[in-house]
Amino acid sequence: MAAIPAGSTWPLVGVARAARDRRVIAWLSVGAGAAVGLAGLLGHALWLLVLGAAAVVALLAVLAPQFLLAIFLVAGGLKKEPGFVHSPVDLTVLTAAGVILAIVTRAVRKEGIPRLPAASALGVTLASFALISVLWSPLPVAGLDKELRFETFTMAAFFAPMILIRRPADLRRLMVFVVVFALFIAFTAVRGKGPQAPLIIAGGTSEIELALYTMTGVVAALYLAIEGRSRWRVLWLVPALVLGNTVIAAGSRGVLIAAMITVPFMGIQAARRARVKAVPIALLLVALVVAIAFGSQLAGAAGPKYAGLFSGGSTSTRLGKRNYYLEDGISMALAHPLGLGASAYQAAYITPYPHNALIEAVDEQGVIGAGLLAALMIAAFRSTLRRRGPRIRAEAILAGGLLIVYTVDAMGSQSFTQFRELWFGMGLALALPRLARAGDTEP
């Protein structure tokens, strides 16, 4: 039997082997960088710690940008943990640098940046307008700091899913990391110091952050249970239940309301997508029955805080206890519909923002800024509801669930310039058409 010509076969084998060897060397370099950072931490050598951290972030930006992006999304919950609180480099800054480096790395590669969706221009326009508004800000220094964070950290979260998530496989990998980090945050949660914060992030003070990050993990786990062909994917419901229990026990009314909308939405969409619709419908009904029958037990110490959630109860337990922030913001918007510039609300009322993204936008960037933000939100939601192909895609269910959680929270707790999770959700929603075309593993 004639031998296979070496010239047509072995060069390809050599290329594959060289690529594999380069990745092995790169991952060994990640380990070496981590070892250098650990040595710096144990030996109290700041320069070694910073050098090791910078090396690891730079390498992961190329090898596993989804890992860095997952940490970036939940950094607010991780960096307050006892193991991170004494770090000389802020975890948000460190991972943001890695995500931005990953975006730049993808941009200079041969394939370059994919064509961005037209609606992304709304985000760019709003970011530009917000930066320009520093020129007439009553607090120019605070306003400039606020908008620079918006232009870097928040915009990195917005564009990351459009550039770094090229295929559904990339999104699956990202959501696995999100679930893992959310479980870490949930398992290390501690009791708060008062009835208003029954359960908080270790090292933190806010029950809202704990509920928000663990609810993000719930949505990610539900997506992993919906997506794919494996019969074992139903096991992702276990971390979803664990994280859901933490969401309820945390005592955040706003996130609880978001969960009450998000879980039925994802369940209904999963039933519409499934070939055998009885399974997701049955699971959804079981979840509703358990929530109704055992809600008070699941709430634990947060039970009294939920008393009189919508009506009745004291001011401290009723939904909307921050109405005075909102009322101040509305008064400013009515008096100055064209906006007063970056950090204008802080200049007038000391509090950094009115705990409502749209009201903050109209206070600072006027009706134009609020209109741009509202239009972007609407475009993102429309993208999640648009069917691409014969069945609803799991990525659309995920994006819709995240948008519900983040939008509800943005209307009652957050600043639109700093709430990078909301911008990530909108960016992911706008990236759905390209993910549908990539569709490499869609069953």
Please report which confidence band the pLDDT of residue 316 belongs to, taking 50, 70 and 90 as the band edges.
very low
Q: Are 100 and 157 in contact (CB under 8 A)?
A: no
Whether the predicted pLDDT of 45 surpasses 90: no
Alpha-carbon gap, residue 86 to 32, rounded angstroms: 22
Q: What percent of the chain has a predicted confidence (pLDDT) above 90?
A: 42
The count of other CB atoms within 10 Å of the CB of residue 354 is 26
- Tell me the pLDDT band of 21, cut-offs 50, 70 and 90: low
Q: How far apart, in whole angstroms, are the C-alpha atoms of residue 245 and residue 189?
A: 12
Q: Which of 71, 76, 30, 22 is nearest to 54 (CA)?
A: 30
pLDDT beyond 50 at 8: no
**pTM (2 d.p.):** 0.86
Identify the pLDDT of residue 22.
57
Q: Please give the average per-residue pLDDT across 103-124, as a whole number.
A: 85
C-alpha 243/C-alpha 319 separation (Å) is 23
Element (H or E) spanning 210, and its range? helix 207-226
> Of 305 and 73, which is predicted with more confidence?
73
> Which pLDDT band holds residue 219 (cuts at 50, 70, 90)?
very high
Token reading at 25: 């060397």
Summarize the confidence of residues 225-252 as an average pLDDT. Answer: 87
Distance of CA 345 to the CA centre of its chain: 26
Both tokens of 315, joined, read 């001011």
**Taking residues 167-182, what's their average pLDDT?**
92
| Least confidently predicted of 103-117, 178-192, 308-322 | 308-322
Rg of the chain over Cα atoms, rounded to whole angstroms, equals 23
Note whether 224 and 217 are within 8 A (CB). no
Tell me how far apart the alpha carbons of residues 140 and 136 are, in angstroms, rounded to a whole number. 8
Q: Which residue has the higher pLDDT, 348 or 206?
A: 348
